[in-house]
Structure 1
Amino acid sequence: MHARRLRTALVPLALVAATATACGDDDRTSTSASGEKLDKATLTLNWYPYGEHAPFYYGKKRKIFEKHGIDLEIRAGQGSQKTVQATGAGQTDFGWADTPAVLAGVDQGVDVKSLGVFLQTTPASVQSFAAEGVASPADLKGKTVAGTAGDALTKTFPIFLRKNGMELSDVKVQNTDPAGKIAAVISGKTDALLGYASDQGPTMRNKAEKDVAYLRFSEHGLNFYSNGLIAGSKTLQGRGDLAKRMTAAVSEAWAAAEKRPGPAVAAMEGASEQLPPKDVLSEQFKTTLTLLHTDATEGKAPGANTEADWKRTIEVFSEAGLVKNPKPVTEYWDAAKGITG
């Protein structure tokens, strides 16, 4: 359903520029009901709204963004790679995108930086129906797994296997269109799929009415950064302290949603015609809340990153071949505008 957001093969910048509507420089402020001047800002998601995005809608409902002087417009995305491109081109003020797509974008010259990764434990996983009995990586031997050529999951799957004493030849990866992976498992064409525990799994369980089992990469020796807040130079350099205020507001919204997950999910009502059922949204967000920290950031505010975690993530995607020319952490992450604690 949302799997296309996992693809990291970047589309040409010219294509994005031709199809996206650029943000104008006029009419960039508004006035709140209490008479406060607000900066208008756009946030383009990685995909159509699903459970992971609840904090943004909850933050709007609770006026957290207004508190930080921001009149926020949330837009649906069409995959992390397109969000990275649009953000770098200044067609949206902020983006919510997968870190592999950010790394690959910077590698290709896209002018974008992370303001902080919020999903610091990867939701990357092998997902199958519990009845298949896939309880450990070794149980994947001889199985057929739906994957999408070139995306971050398929690129890191061989690393996951090697860390667990296996080789890619032990498993058959069937190249499958992202939108068709769930159907492939439900129909029995594949035994499992490569997906995000916070995304496809709950949808698959809802559609098939069968329990889903997960082999999470992070629980079997391989972790890397996932989704986070990004901005391009037009926002970072041309709109004063907006980026720092936005980062603080997003962090506060996530902290508030973590305390009240039910109301946070309820705040998504009407967000999109493609919105998953409420029970799927709830399960997606419940899983998302298990991804907010690494050992280095446990107890810190949502979105607080460390240089060491960034380095490990860069190393993983360099090994996976998604980053051809690894750069210093500062080329990917603007720590000065991020969350410090």
Structure 2
Amino acid sequence: MCERCGNTYHKIQEASRRGFLKGGAAAAASLAIPAGLLSPGMAAAQGLTRIKATHGGGLCNLGIFLAKERKLAEADGVDLDFVVTPTTTDVVTLFGAGMVDVSVIPYSNFITLVDAGAPVQIVAGAGVEGCILIGSEEISSPADLKGKTIGTFQADTLEVLPYDYMTSAGMEFADAEIKYFNTSPELAAAFINGAIDAVSHIEPYATQCLQERAGSSILTDGLDLYGKGYSDCVLAARTPLLEENPDAVKAVIKAMMTAQYQSETDTAAALATTQGTYYKTSLEALTLAQSRQPVMIDQRNNTDFFVERSVSMQKMGYVKNTLPDSAVNWTLLEEVIAENADLYDSLNLKTAA
């Protein structure tokens, strides 16, 4: 656990969030590329373009998990290859340094990368909603947080949420004591065991916190602040890849859109595919949590939301500049939608026409 100690980009890089829910590979803390179903040579022999990707551990990553496990991009010539990263700090570092091609990443971490000059762009959505601020028994309003401890991850969507919650009520974020944690299980355990008074978490951990600490309640699930369908994580790509091989990026977007359709039409099967491998929780708990944080690939309606949240991050001291228009590029998403009208029309969650 690390206490709030200043808002600089280097400290953001040192912060971490959403430790993997899967055990063995993540616990090894290795940044090496794991052995996949296809070696690079085998992928090339089969005419596939290998795209290296990073991701987090929350339910906002369900779309890319399904795309990987069910090989949904292979029909369009892409082998999606995950690079193992123990924490989101490593996700941000590898993606920003150009060691991977694409990433499902919290919008907040993406904003810090852009502000630091990394050549990256949002190309599609990933997951929406599911950022939940939970208070212990004695906390039921923003005013009750004064002098209390809030656990979260630094420079994360989960820190922006309590900041917006408190400041929208006329309070200062400094009125509460912010404590930063390194992994999702650690953060959840701190709240459940009474080490902190409130917690800002993602699913499926938020549900776990509610179920296992008596008297706890939701202070905000983001819907009252941001509206339905607000973003948590996005799919971002390196600009050089967008220029050199846009079709490969389109294949990943289409695969994740297919994954969204599969998660909407057969949620049980989608969660069963990922439970154990990515999510160490019961299928019952995972199903309840997933209803609060669904997959949504077409997030064009969140363009202004990203800019508005970058204003919050600027006020928090994490970035010097607000998000430029050039950082959000829906061009390839719109091409995928146009080329796959039947698939797009079948989706429940999408930007309204």
| TM bracket, shorter-chain basis | 0.7 to 0.9
Do structure 1's residue 308 and structure 2's residue 315 form an aligned pair? no
Do structure 1's residue 41 and structure 2's residue 45 form an aligned pair? no
More off after superposition, 319-328 vs 94-103? 319-328
Inter-partner Cα distance in structure 1 for 2:45 and 2:144: 57
8 Å CA contact 1:81–1:105 kept in 2: the answer is no
Inter-partner Cα distance in structure 1 for 2:158 and 2:69: 34
Deviations 1:188-232 (A, max 9, x none): 232221222x242123356x3757522225234357632111111
8 Å CA contact 1:148–1:178 kept in 2: the answer is yes
Residue of structure 2 in register with 1:181 after alignment: 187
Q: In structure 2, do the counterparts of structure 1 residues 144 and 84 end up closer, same or farther at CA, with 3 Å as the change threshold?
A: closer
Deviations 1:153-189 (A, max 9, x none): 445533321212333465x325243444323322223
Inter-partner Cα distance in structure 1 for 2:14 and 2:196: 28
Inter-partner Cα distance in structure 1 for 2:180 and 2:331: 41
8 Å CA contact 1:244–1:337 kept in 2: the answer is yes
Do structure 1's residue 284 and structure 2's residue 299 form an aligned pair? no
Inter-partner Cα distance in structure 2 for 1:57 and 1:152: 20
CA shift, 1:103, in A, is 0.8
Residue of structure 1 in register with 2:328 after alignment: 333
Do structure 1's residue 146 and structure 2's residue 156 form an aligned pair? no
Unaligned runs of 5+ in 2: 2-9, 16-29, 338-350
Residue of structure 1 in register with 2:209 after alignment: 204
One-letter amino acid matched to 1:266: A
Residue of structure 1 in register with 2:344 after alignment: none
Residue of structure 1 in register with 2:319 after alignment: 323
TM-score by length of 2: 0.72
Inter-partner Cα distance in structure 2 for 1:78 and 1:194: 20
8 Å CA contact 2:48–2:74 kept in 1: the answer is yes
SS at match of 1:10: helix
Q: In structure 2, do the counterparts of structure 1 residues 265 and 147 end up closer, same or farther at CA, with 3 Å as the change threshold?
A: closer
CA shift, 1:139, in A, is 4.3
Among candidates 227, 250, 255, match of residue 249 of structure 1: 255
Alignment map for 1:100-249 (pairs within 5 Å): 100-121=108-129, 123-129=130-136, 132=137, 134-141=139-146, 143-148=148-153, 151-154=156-159, 157-168=162-173, 170=175, 172-179=176-183, 180-196=186-202, 198-205=203-210, 208=212, 210=214, 212-216=216-220, 218-222=222-226, 225-249=231-255
Among candidates 94, 98, 101, match of residue 93 of structure 1: 101
Give aligned pairs, total: 306
Deviations 1:69-119 (A, max 9, x none): 322233443333432332243322221111111110111122222112333
Among candidates 64, 78, 85, match of residue 70 of structure 1: 78
Residue of structure 2 in register with 1:262 after alignment: 268
Inter-partner Cα distance in structure 2 for 1:79 and 1:194: 17
TM-score by length of 1: 0.74
8 Å CA contact 2:53–2:102 kept in 1: the answer is yes
CA shift, 1:241, in A, is 1.4
Q: In structure 2, do the counterparts of structure 1 residues 244 and 185 end up closer, same or farther at CA, with 3 Å as the change threshold?
A: same
One-letter amino acid matched to 1:10: Q
Q: In structure 2, do the counterparts of structure 1 residues 243 and 326 end up closer, same or farther at CA, with 3 Å as the change threshold?
A: same
Unaligned runs of 5+ in 1: 2-6, 13-18, 32-36, 293-300
Inter-partner Cα distance in structure 2 for 1:58 and 1:46: 14
More off after superposition, 100-109 vs 310-319? 310-319
8 Å CA contact 2:31–2:84 kept in 1: the answer is no
Residue of structure 1 in register with 2:5 after alignment: none
Residue of structure 1 in register with 2:44 after alignment: 29
Q: In structure 2, do the counterparts of structure 1 residues 76 and 282 end up closer, same or farther at CA, with 3 Å as the change threshold?
A: farther
Percent pairwise identity: 20
